[in-house]
Each structure stands twice: as C-alpha cells, then as structure tokens.
Amino acid sequence: MYGPVMLDLVGLELTQEECELLTHPAVGGVILFARNYLNRHQLKQLIAAIRAIRPNVLVAVDQEGGRVQRFDEGFVTIPPMRALGDYYDQTPAKAEKLARDVGWLMATELRDVGVDFSFAPVLDLDTGNSQVIGTRAFHRNPATITTLAGAFIEGLKEAGCASVGKHFPGHGFVQADSHTEIPVDTRSLPQLERDLSPFAALIKQGLDGIMPAHVIYTEVDRQPAGFSRYWLQQKLRTEYNFKGVIFSDDLSMEGASVAGDMAARVDLAQQAGCDMLLICNDRTLVSEVLDHMSVSASLESQTRLAKMAAPPAQQSQLRRQMMSERFSQTVQQITWLRQKYNKLHYD
C-alpha cells in the first residue's frame, strides 16, 4: 500500500538512514533531484535499490524542461515550455504535434530509468509578474496553454507516464517566490477564472494529478491553496469532479510556513484533501513526521496513488522506442526549437 509521505534523498546512493525510512508504512513516494543524478546507469541502480526495499513506492522528479530539468547529461535537453508557446503563435498545428512528441519523449526517457512520472506540466499563466514561473509557462493565453499542455499530456500517457498539473489555481500572477516568501494574490474569484480555465479543461481531458500552490488568495480563503478545503474539496473535488491525486507542494517551503510547524502543516494539508505530502530538503522534519505523528493514507487516497505508478514495461521495448525514428526526429525538432528561441534567453 502507498503511504502519504513523499521524501527526498541526499545523494547518489541510499544511506542507511534512508533505507530505514523507506520501510516506514507512511512513506509512499520518493522525489529525485539533480543531486541524485550522475548518469543513467547510476540512476537506474539507485531506483532499483529503492524498489528493492519498498516495491510499492512512487518515484517522481521535477523534469519540465528549461531551467527545471533535474537529469541533464544523458537526457535530451528540453527547452522551456514557453518555446512551444511561441512556436504555436507562428504554426499552431506543428507546435501542438511537437508538444505531444516532447511529452512522449520525456516520458520514454523517464520510464527507461525507472521513474514513474514527472511533476509536469506547468499550467500557470505567464502574466509577466512571476519570475519563478516565467518561461516555465506555455503561454499567457489560457486557451493556448490548454491546447499545448493537453497535447503534452497525451504524449506522456502514450509512453505510460501520468501527468501532474501545477500550481493550482495559478501561481503566475504573484511576484513572490513561494520557496522563500509567502505569496499573496488579492484578486477575486471571478478574476481568477482565466488562471483556473486550463485546470478545469484538462481535468475533463483526464489530468492524473494536481499540485496546489503555496499562495494565499485572500478574497477566497485565508489559507494557501494547498491547505484550503475550499480549493481542494469544493473547487477541485466537487465543482470540477477531479478524481486524481492531489500532491502538496513541498511542505518545507516558506510559502507553507503560515500553517505552523511541520506537524500542523501535515495535518492541515491532509485535512484539506492532499493525498500525498512532499517533505524535502530537511531530513529532521521527515523523521519527526514519521516518528512522532500518526500519518496514514485513506483507502481512497491509496487507490488514487496506485494509478500514478507507471505500468510494467520491458526494457527492450523502451530501448526500441528510444532508437525509433520518432525519437530521433523529435530530438532534431527539440534541438531546432532550442536554437531558434535561444536568443530570447529562455533558460
């Protein structure tokens, strides 16, 4: 069964402490960062070691492209999603097809090393205000985001990876970076509809997971979205009929600090409706949560989480995909796109 806590690792190999943590019933996921990657061979060994200890564990990564690409050498360098958005402004049909192929290629590479899914795509609008979002967003137009992200998600699914849209209900308007600050969005609910529309549309199209923002929308709720029953229960589960997984953003981020200490953050996030809780970059906090708190996932959460696991695939099948004409052509198109828009300093 899948526990509700997703933790990180300190390096390229499991430590003894991490081996012990992985056996805890509350652990259900591991998120990997650049510090965990040396090359494809090492990464496969690390993930195999994780699964040897805990077979039922979700292995995830933030692999978006652009400045958010944790695995670099040995992986195709993906441009930021804004490059696809600008390409769409010129040739919509070609850009939509390439978005699908980029999703397929990214998922194929991740599955080849044993990763279940990436926390992608970003569904935020780029309003020009947020530097932390910026070119991670496909576009400023919600309809364009829906089209390109929808195609990207289709590519992910085709290769066997689930999708996670972020940062609900939209992080693109606020200037503050929730990693280091507490962002506040003072717009009314009607004013937020443009930000919400890609999430609403893509939920209907089968979005698998959603990550809420550590942003306080003061005209709607006093709590950040990830701790808000209004946003997660009323809006997502009831109004949008979202059946997938709700992942908290990293609970150690400054944007989550308004909820209190880590015990309060975990309780509030679960009460609001998060299925899986990310606790990164602070091993002491992880140990405190696992050792001193009663953290368990409901049967409904466990059922949802199980659907995020990538289906079994033969290594030979994945190798054939990576040696296929489609893969090589997509690499060529990605290289061309990166070069075409490099002068705009997307990275």
Active site residues: 179, 249
Report the length, in residues, of the chain. 347
Could you identify the residue written with the tokens 């692999």?
A: 63
Residue 97 Cα distances to 20, 162, 256, angstroms: 45, 19, 37
Task: Quickly count: other Cβ atoms within 10 Å of residue 299's Cβ.
Answer: 8
Q: Is 91 exposed, middle or buried (0-12, 13-18, 19+ CB in 10 A)?
A: exposed
Straight-line distance from the first to the last Cα atom of the chain, in angstroms, rounded to the nearest whole number: 39
The pair of three-digit structure tokens given for residue 155, joined into one six-digit string: 């590519």
For residue 64, give every residue at least 6 positions away whose Cβ sits within 8 Å of its Cβ, in sequence order, or none.
Answer: 78, 80, 81, 118, 119, 120, 121, 122, 136
How far is it, in rounded angstroms, from Cα 224 to Cα 220? Answer: 10
CB 211 within 8 A of CB 248: yes
Task: Quickly count: other Cβ atoms within 10 Å of residue 232's Cβ.
Answer: 25
How far is it, in rounded angstroms, from Cα 214 to Cα 130? Answer: 14
303: amino acid identity, one letter: T
CB 188 within 8 A of CB 173: no
The pair of three-digit structure tokens given for residue 64, joined into one six-digit string: 């978006």
- Of 36, 56, 37, 59, nearest to 118 (Cα)? 59
Bridge partner residues of 29 (DSSP) = 6, 58
Give ∠ CA 274-36-34 in degrees, rounded to 5: 80
Peptide bond before residue 167 is cis, with ω within 30 degrees of 0: yes
